Structure 1
């Protein structure tokens, strides 16, 4: 029985194995029938060893040195207007955006005490001017008195001369009669009469001398009075000058109650309203009452990097475009440069004065400025894409096609603006220079050159 079981087991296993093999063959045949037949592929042709390149020729005219830098617009002139006196804002004639003219009164501050100061100063000045007139009148009287004293002195001198002459005559007469009396020609009584006349004349001479001395002292006294009157006039005028200065000061402070525009422009800031109390700028650090900007002219500020500083000069042509004014290009020239670099940024400030009659440009507008630092030289120019390798110390390399072979040549370069490069030597106008040399191109490679169409 055991043999019968082993025989049936073997037969079953053989049947299972045969079924499995059949199934595998069935699926293999089905899969092969589903796959498409592989076409016959011809062997590829071997690639050509000739490299195709595009060439160009150097153009006459060197590259101009220029730079494009960010810039910003600022009002050419602007003023913060503060109050010089304290008081209440009584009148305000403008607001933000109002156009103003030079000398226009923008606002007025009420300061009653200043008006009182002016009235007091005017009264004081009138008083001092009256004192000047009084002093001048006294001086005139003193001058007249001095002239009278001088005239009296002159008369006294004349009288003394007359008495002296009379004394000389009477003395001679007395001596003559005295001699005649000795010869008994005249009586003694007549001699005595002549002596009396002589003595009377001598008294007159003494009186005249005294009158002369008196008149001289009167002149000195009159001169002193004149000098005193002159001093009084000077003092009165000085007081009047002080009073006038005080009046002018009062009027000046009163004028500070009016805020006036320093030039034609626009109000860009207004910080107070009618009725506000305004504190003098000398007594606090409050904001300005107004900011006035001159809008007809703006200054465009740019910072030139260190490497371009040696080429920047006043008068260099510029073109400016602002981001907020697309399509408009403003032409100008560098108006001023700082001649000093900022130690932090290593750049130099430069400014362009730009007319702004239509007011299109406003403060803080941002844009770009193209500066023509140097004009083009009489050299050759190549596209920058012709260069290969790294640039160092004004040297570079290009590939030139000669007799169907690429030759690497060293060249000297000048200005380089990223698009074109100035060629100082190493390339002629007749050379065919490869544009965008293919990677791996080496000196001596056989090439097929085609001229660039651009």
Structure 2
């Protein structure tokens, strides 16, 4: 259907009907433009505001950690000797006092025999001098039979022989003790993680006969988890109790450890404090040397102001929030504390029920008129 099918009268009537609609649309646009221009000229900024109230911000601190044996020992030979028998191997589970290896040192046997011979000689000499003194002492009870000088010399001889006997006995016990070091025993229950000897190996004290230990023994039924806490969080972690952690080799498992030890001082190089947790590892799933990702719960300080992260403005000069005072913007310098889930602790010249701009920016200058956004 085309326009030429309509009569001129109908076209005039249609145009007259559409004219009021066009005038109304034009008027609406003019009104909106006028309102926008008025708001822009007034300098008022529409903002979202929050009312300050003191609360407590709980958060979690993620830190790398290292799993360590609860205790370990590098076992060396006490005396220069040769390995005679090895009773364990790498991976062996041992108990406290168990014999791990036996060493031999032939010259030690010779020393023991010599010490034993000296001991017997000194015992005989002491028995003789003691007997002589006792006889003289008994005889001297009859006046004029024994001179005091002879009695005194006998006493001195007995005292000297007694000292020599004690010295010989001490030397004999020392050699016996050194022979006892030829039997290597486990100081505690654990697992042998290193074995560096075989029968016939020459061994000796650390740095002399051996560069490496005979064995390395580790206790693994109980482990330690060590983390380095940055200085800024050292006060908060003192209130932590249990922590959760994961290891790379078992990404689907979460483990729990109990906080047991805090160093009490900072590492001057890393500016951090050492924190240790104990781990129950009776199932043997965890191994010393594993790296862990540790979640440390931080209860946070009580009675502090907490605001959304977007309410804090950071520029080249300072860190601040914008407070609405009688409808005007006021910059208030603050310091930030802990942060968690988009919320941040702030400290500064603030009071309860202060109105803080939630969507703050340094484009909102001090003295700018503010009105709450709908």
- Per the normalisation by structure 1, the TM-score is 0.60
Alpha-carbon distance in 1 for matches of 2:372, 2:238? 50
Q: Could you tell me which of 77, 86, 90 is aligned with 2:84?
A: 90
Q: Could you tell me which of 303, 326, 332 is aligned with 2:258?
A: 332
| Shift of residue 258, structure 1, vs aligned partner | 1.2
For structure 2, the residue ranges without an aligned partner over 5 or more in a row are 1-21, 40-44
Q: Which residue of 1 aligns with 2:194?
A: 269
| Shift of residue 113, structure 1, vs aligned partner | 2.8
Alpha-carbon distance in 2 for matches of 1:388, 1:348? 28
1:117 equivalent to 2:111? Answer yes
| Shift of residue 308, structure 1, vs aligned partner | 3.8
1:395 equivalent to 2:314? Answer no
Alpha-carbon distance in 2 for matches of 1:314, 1:126? 64
Q: Deviations over 1:113-139 (max 9, x none)?
A: 322322332232123212221211111
Q: Could you tell me which of 345, 349, 352 is aligned with 1:422?
A: 345
| Shift of residue 366, structure 1, vs aligned partner | 1.6
Determine helix, strand or coil for the equivalent of 1:248.
Answer: helix
Q: Which residue of 1 aligns with 2:17?
A: none
Determine helix, strand or coil for the equivalent of 1:253.
Answer: helix
Q: Could you tell me which of 319, 322, 325 is aligned with 2:246?
A: 322
1:101 equivalent to 2:92? Answer no
Alpha-carbon distance in 1 for matches of 2:281, 2:224? 13
From the two aligned structures, give the one with the greater strand fraction: 2
1:247 equivalent to 2:169? Answer no
Determine helix, strand or coil for the equivalent of 2:82.
Answer: strand
Are the structure 2 counterparts of residues 315 and 129 from structure 1 closer, same or farther at C-alpha, using a change threshold of 3 Å? farther
Are the structure 2 counterparts of residues 241 and 314 from structure 1 closer, same or farther at C-alpha, using a change threshold of 3 Å? farther
1:383 equivalent to 2:308? Answer yes
For structure 1, the residue ranges without an aligned partner over 5 or more in a row are 1-41, 151-214, 450-454
Greater Rg over alpha carbons, structure: 1
Alpha-carbon distance in 1 for matches of 2:350, 2:211? 68
1:234 equivalent to 2:228? Answer no
1:80 equivalent to 2:4? Answer no
- Per the normalisation by structure 2, the TM-score is 0.72
Q: Which residue of 2 aligns with 1:259?
A: 184
> Do the aligned residues in 1 keep the contact of 2:223 with 2:281 (CA within 8 Å)?
no
Larger mean CA deviation between 61-70 and 114-123 belongs to: 61-70
| Shift of residue 92, structure 1, vs aligned partner | 1.5
Are the structure 2 counterparts of residues 373 and 284 from structure 1 closer, same or farther at C-alpha, using a change threshold of 3 Å? same
> Do the aligned residues in 1 keep the contact of 2:245 with 2:254 (CA within 8 Å)?
yes
Alpha-carbon distance in 2 for matches of 1:355, 1:86? 39
| RMSD, matched Cα | 3.9
Alpha-carbon distance in 2 for matches of 1:132, 1:241? 10
> Do the aligned residues in 2 keep the contact of 1:65 with 1:415 (CA within 8 Å)?
no
| Shift of residue 293, structure 1, vs aligned partner | 1.9
Alpha-carbon distance in 2 for matches of 1:445, 1:64? 32
| Shift of residue 307, structure 1, vs aligned partner | 3.7
| Shift of residue 391, structure 1, vs aligned partner | 9.0
Count of aligned positions: 331
